[in-house]
Amino acid sequence: MEMEMSMEMRRCMEDCRNCMAMCMETMMQCMNSGKMDMKMMCAFMDCMEMCQMCGNCIVRMSPMSGEMCAMCAEMCTACATMCEGMGDNPMMKRCAEMCRRCAGSCSMMAKSMKAA
């Protein structure tokens, strides 16, 4: 029996993909400017990897997708908080916004999968 992906699943997967790309772009800008410490690099990398794993679980319709979405929401929130603490840098602001958007999608997805 085949199961079709819902619009909510597709949106969450897309937000994960976009968040991963935004974190990569932001991390590279920080590295190129010389304004990167290990804590920042780890936060970006953790967020990118979690977003990728979460998106992959959704595509596979893994039974662990709900748990992955919950963890991804937590990781994206932590990355957003870090970015927001970096002042008025426009790139950091965009990254924080994307991380918050992804955290919201993943949080909703985790709740809906838990209820199912």
Separation of alpha carbons 2 and 44, rounded Å? 35
- What is the domain partition of the chain in residue ranges? 9-17+39-115
For the ranges 13-22, 25-34, 55-64, 81-90, the maximum mean pLDDT occurs at: 13-22
Separation of alpha carbons 52 and 19, rounded Å? 9
CATH number belonging to the domain at 9-17+39-115, selected among 1.20.1270.360, 3.30.1700.10, 1.10.1040.10, 3.40.720.10: 1.20.1270.360
> Distance from first CA to last CA of the chain, Å, rounded?
17
Separation of alpha carbons 53 and 19, rounded Å? 12
Cβ atoms of 92 and 84 closer than 8 Å:
yes
Quick one: 24 exposed, middle or buried, by C-beta within 10 A (0-12, 13-18, 19+)? middle
φ/ψ bin of 39: left (φ > 0), alpha (ψ from -120 to 50), beta (otherwise): alpha
Cβ atoms of 27 and 70 closer than 8 Å:
no
- Reported as a single tens digit per residue, the pLDDT across 49-94 is 999 999 999 999 999 999 999 999 999 999 999 999 988 889 999 9
Predicted local confidence at residue 116, as pLDDT: 59
